[in-house]
Amino acid sequence: MNLCAILFLLAFTTPSWGKDIKVFPDLNLNNPNELKEATRVLEEELKLAARPQTYLLIDLSGGTIHIKGRGVGLHQIPIIVWSAESWKDLKGIHRLVARPQVVRRKVEPGAEVEQEPISLADMPADYVLSFSPSLSVTVVPSVESDSLFQSAVLLGKVGWRNVRDWTSRLLMDRSSEPTAHLRLTLSVNHAQSLAWSLVDGMALVIRRPTDK
């Protein structure tokens, strides 16, 4: 095959690498505020995607948590409801420093009975994640349930935690560094799925909604 033929073929081959991608499909390209926020997030994400790691992108605008690597979306978790405090400070890259402990079963050497492996059901659905610089993310399960009793118990748990949060905030030293706080309500399965996918030191970027 001569050079002309190769060039002809190349001209009609769509290169997949470096093609235009829709990072935020819901983004209105004519809204300058949305563009500014999306650009800021992209700048942060580029730093993360340049390294071999998985990271989190919480897209409050799109209502989705993305687990990503190299810019590729690996898994998505829908957010049912969210709220935030000091949330205008939710800029930059945050690193996971504390997550809930998972109860692991132990093998007894030479034991006849095999231990039950860990599964998604072993993961917590109601937990707090701490990130650095100061950010805490509270994950709460949605209260949708087939059983009225289960719903009441779940609501009770959420209510009790709210009372605890309010009390600790009231007692908190006002002079200490303010902590940005994000609260995410997910379905039970999705909350467990997120807990499963977290890795110590995992990076997080948050896309905030803007004025429409």
Partner 1 sequence: MGRLLLATSAVVLLLLVVISAFTTNHVASENSAAVHQPAVQDKDDLRTLQARYKALSKQLSHLMPNQPYILVDTARNRLYVKHQEQVVLDAIASTGSGIILDKPGEGNSQWIFDTPRGEFLVKSKLTNPTWIKPDWAFIEEGLAVPQNAADRAEQGVLGEYALGFGKGYFIHGTLYTRLLGKNVTHGCIRLNDSDLKGVYKLARVGTPIMIF
Contacts with partner 1 in 178-207 (CB under 8 A)? 183, 185, 193, 196-197, 199
From 3-11, 51-59, 126-134, 171-179, span contacting partner 1 (CB under 8 A): 51-59
Q: Look at residue 72 and give its three-state secondary structure.
A: strand
Among residues 97, 100, 158, 187, which is the contact residue for partner 1, using CB under 8 A? 158
Three-class SS state of 110? coil
Among 64, 69, 76, 100, binds partner 1 (CB under 8 A): 69
Distance between CA atoms of residues 190 and 183, nearest Å: 14
Among residues 175, 212, 205, the alpha carbon closest in space to that of 67 is found at: 205
Q: Which of 10, 14, 20, 146 binds partner 1 (CB under 8 A)?
A: 20
Tell me which of 2, 13, 16, 101 binds partner 1, using CB under 8 A: 16
Least Å from the CB of residue 194 to partner 1: 10
Of 122, 140, 147, the residue nearest 191 (C-alpha): 140
Q: Does 159 bind partner 1 (CB under 8 A)?
A: yes
Note whether 145 and 132 are within 8 A (CB).
Answer: no
136 binds partner 1 (CB under 8 A): no
- Pairwise CA distance, residues 17 & 3, whole Å: 23
The reply on whether position 138 binds partner 1 by CB under 8 A is no
What are the structure tokens assigned to 70, written together? 């190299």
